[in-house]
Amino acid sequence: EPEVTQTPSHQVTQMGQEVILRCVPISNHLYFYWYRQILGQKVEFLVSFYNNEISEKSEIFDDQFSVERPDGSNFTLKIRSTKLEDSAMYFCASSDLSTGEDEQFFGPGTRLTVL
């Protein structure tokens, strides 16, 4: 069964450093998403991406964040200068809205720890 994959599974970084989180969505999916979940809190939408551009973003997704689809398979989230409060689980998801079904499928997540 096709699945979304994410790397790394755990990233530890120093405050102020840049990190890039990587995702490989399901191959025939066209819509991609990033979410974050701070420990013990709810899943929060960050950004959605379609046709090589951002379609929606939340208030959390400020200038520190950017997304890119650098090739036909990867979808990345970059945090330019990490803060302690960026420590969270980051989930990538993809969906195939062209079928009329908008269920999302999630990757296993990257746990980001900012020290």
Partner 1 sequence: RKEVEQDPGPFNVPEGATVAFNCTYSNSASQSFFWYRQDCRKEPKLLMSVYSSGNEDGRFTAQLNRASQYISLLIRDSKLSDSATYLCVVKPYNFNKFYFGSGTKLNVKP
User: Among residues 12, 18, 56, 83, which is the contact residue for partner 1, using CB under 8 A?
Assistant: 56
Q: Minimum distance from CB of 108 to partner 1 (Å)?
A: 5
42 binds partner 1 (CB under 8 A): yes
Whether the CB-CB separation of 72 and 82 falls below 8 Å is answered with: no
Q: Which of residues 76-105 bind partner 1 (CB under 8 A)?
A: 89, 91, 97, 101-105
44 binds partner 1 (CB under 8 A): yes
7 binds partner 1 (CB under 8 A): no
Q: Cβ neighbours of residue 2 under 8 Å, at least 6 residues apart?
A: 26, 27, 28
Whether the CB-CB separation of 76 and 70 falls below 8 Å is answered with: yes
**Dist. CA 40–CA 87, nearest whole Å:** 12
> 18 or 68, CB closer to partner 1?
68
**Dist. CA 47–CA 98, nearest whole Å:** 19
Cis-peptide into 8, omega within 30 deg: yes
Question: Footprint of partner 1 on this chain (CB under 8 A)?
Answer: 31, 33, 35, 41-45, 48, 50, 55-56, 58, 89, 91, 97, 101-109
